[in-house]
Structure 1
């Protein structure tokens, strides 16, 4: 029988060593690829932005036009998405940001939400019983202290060029003057009406008098959010975490109509974004860098790519059932390690170096056969792993959004942001939704008599699938910036884009557009219906995959690539998922 996560995933509306790999190659040591030798050291290109909504992409492009950096553009996108894509992300949630420059320097910023100081491992137990995910989501108990604005402030201080207040202009205008309801937002309001309409403010904003979602094209004005953004623009991120806004969040969480829970103003004041070491690895001749724990997605991407390196995917091509079988097998092994080992490294020993060690990855790859399926994968035993913790299954994730920017200097920002489920907890403060990120913890803190690494603890950050990546070519030049939304599907989507562009010579847009084959909980192999890959079901069954299911998937990815144009020069080209309302924009 399928569990709820599997059903949601498959439902039509569901959403060298580590150190050497992370270090940029010295200029003298960077090999030059014959097909990229024409690329200038500093791109003669104005840059580009890609996001899940054209109005947000335009906000980022405006920052580039004003002389802003990729980081400035990404922050402006995040703020605009708070207005126009409230079901997926915003200032009431958190995210991960990876930045990169032409010299090979990569940085990563952790703005993941944090459990309040009152949280305990039994946070989601009521009368001794663990709440179901659907019962845990609505209301106060699922809300973590939001991290996006602290992340934005930290990143802006390091690589921003424009004044902080300028970044808020497009979002304030959208909230104050109004924005039109899109088909995707209308659709999400329909299937998540119980969450979107939980708070009277949400009902008043997005639903008509009869309780139906506002029709597509309806212009919505959110003056409360405009006022919130204006205050943060003028006073800085501290105004979100201190004073009236902090009091409003704490009060809303503590008096929620469902699952009220203690959160204090001290919890908000104590929140800090963190600069984390990026996690990098080699895939063929490319250097791939991503977010480390508490992101589990980045390690999953690197492990999967490493396990696939011994196979000639290029020769197989995107129409090969064998290629997709191998990709799914590598992902299945990486997911098993993800569920067992990855969590907040500030609370448990996370064996990141062991999981990405080439020798360990090669040993895991040896378990993959070109002719037979694994079906059930067990986690490995990486160096540094602790047997004090039990393996716990995948978390029921849904929402999220990814966006990216490259500026005129060739600096890149790859940012994945989320409120977790559609419309988060359903609670609204100051015109924005509060996240339900704490349901990304294991709701049951123990398994087989051992604590799980990803259990709830005070001040801890939940594990995430978010996987923002940057990829450098063999010449040391940035080649690809990518990421995706959709919970458990995020790493497979990112892997598909990387393999599609680097192995199969597809454009980033074509790599995103192609279908997907990926493992799902319960030993299922999910194939995206409505794509050419759906015809592969019999061939995949012939490998021994026992549960191959062709189903619609609610996918959403964005990417930027550095490619030659018809003019003979190299350019940044953005790509957005045609399944979504994504768009690209240039200054």
Structure 2
């Protein structure tokens, strides 16, 4: 039965699990009784039982990945590297837009949002072709962010017209393509936090569906992350970078991002939930803060235009809808859509940390002094496929 809104939920089984891990170390989760519980649960699932073994869990290693960073205007921006596609795609969207005066155009300019859509298309095209688990495919991270390559991609963007078609480019270091043999629901969480010492953490995590795989062990939901792989392993006669392979980690759209000001100190930490819209949400929020001089809260609240392909999805019920005639005059093909958006941020304002939360869904922003951001809720959270 549904739990009443505002009700306190207690999970003593998970609390006990976390206490055991804290006392015994992380390895105790991957081997021994805990691992056996997980394997037994998925092996005996009533629906889609898994062939996972205790050896699979024992061989798993949570890996530290190098970040990807660029300079946008006078800010240094860092995000997650592959197998997450979020960081590199956010950075490509921003760098491709850097030659345009987004500040002068402003947040209410249809042309600014048209430029944002065009840059998104180019970045998503490269993401789809090249990004996967770097332990299995060669991801040309350096080439995708190479200034000369970014300049060639940016040159495809025109302020007054829309590209007739978009395809991935050929960044330096792109691997040779391998010839191939002849609806989602929300389950992603994001948080941004800073402490009095200046430590900043931005976390995005997901179990994929509302309750992941629908299985739990010791109060902990087991994820359904397999759906983040490309369902079809080949496209156009070539193997796709994000195809399913044993031991491989799926590509994600998660985009936890930290923005450093000209003084080298953290200016903003931002992330989002919402499948593949995460990338556009984070890029939009950064442009809002850096170019349009908005607060993180107001940047997050801006309506979105999400354009991973030819059609630009205009967020339903937002100020973006009024721009449709002007966007169509620029050649955009638009579709009004109720996007599943949920971003969060923490920003440094006049020496004080201030939280920001999305008005579209649950969440709250709390300032350093304990002040809670008052947020008017609008709409419900849905989710786009990653």
2:45 to 241, 245, 256: 256
SS of match in other structure, 1:275: coil
Output aligned runs, 1:128-277, within 5 Å.
207=1, 213-277=2-66
Give the corresponding residue for 1:303.
92
Cα distance, 1:218 vs structure 2: 4.4
How much does 1:428 deviate?
1.2
How do 1:453-468 residues align onto structure 2 when only pairs under 5 Å count? Answer: 453-468=241-256
Once residues 455 and 540 of structure 1 are traced to their aligned partners in structure 2, the CA distance between those partners, rounded to angstroms, is 35
- The alignment status of 1:472 with 2:267, answered yes or no, reads no
CA contact (8 A) 1:401 1:485 kept: yes
Maintained 8 Å contact 1:390/1:453: no
Say yes or no: does 1:531 pair with 2:318: yes
1:581 aligns with 2:362: yes
1:318 maps to: 107
Paired with 2:148 and 2:186, the residues of 1 have a C-alpha distance of 34
Structure 2: gaps spanning 5 or more residues: 371-386
Pairing partner for 1:328 from 114, 117, 126? 117
Q: Mind listing any 5+ residue stretches in structure 1 that lack a counterpart?
A: 1-206, 208-212, 565-569
Find the aligned partners of 2:5 and 2:260 in 1 and give their Cα distance. Answer: 41
TM-score by length of structure 1 reads 0.60
Q: CA deviation at 1:545?
A: 1.5
Q: Distance in 2 between matches of 1:338 and 1:412?
A: 27
How far did 1:520 drift? 4.4
Post-superposition CA distance 1:46-77 (Å, at most 9, x none):
xxxxxxxxxxxxxxxxxxxxxxxxxxxxxxxx
Aligned CA-pair RMSD: 1.8
- Which of 490, 496, 502 aligns to 2:290? It is 502
C-alpha distance in 2, partners of 1:307/1:285? Answer: 15
Distance 1:259 1:298, change over 3 A: same
Between stretches 505-514 and 413-422, larger displacement belongs to 413-422
- The structure in which a higher percent of residues are helix is 1
Distance of 2:18 and 2:365 partners within structure 1? 24
CA distance, structure 1, for counterparts of residue 68 and residue 238 of structure 2: 28
Q: Are 1:557 and 2:338 matched, yes or no?
A: no
Residue of structure 2 in register with 1:173 after alignment: none
Out of 492-501 and 425-434, give the one that drifted further. Answer: 425-434
- Equivalent residue pairs, number: 366
- Normalising by structure 2, report the TM-score: 0.90
1:279 is aligned to 2:68: yes
Q: Secondary structure at the match of 1:240?
A: helix
CA distance in structure 1 between the partners assigned to 2:179 and 2:347 by the alignment: 40
Deviation at 1:379? 0.2
Provide closer, same or farther for how the CA distance between residues 281 and 225 of structure 1 changes in structure 2, counting only shifts above 3 A. Answer: same
| Alpha-carbon distance in structure 2 between the residues aligned to 1:495 and 1:375 | 23
2:185 and 2:210 in contact (8 A); partners too: no
| Runs ≥4 residues deviating over 6 A | none
Between the two structures, name the one with larger relative contact order (CA 8 Å, sep ≥ 6).
Answer: 1
Distance 2:132 2:93 in 1: 18
Inter-CA distance 249–384: structure 2 relative to 1 (3 Å threshold) = same
- Once the two structures are superposed, residues 263-301 of structure 1 have per-residue CA deviations (whole angstroms, 9 ceiling, x without a partner) of 111111222111221110111111111111001111101
State the match for 2:373 in structure 1.
none
400-409 vs 233-242, greater mean Cα deviation? 233-242
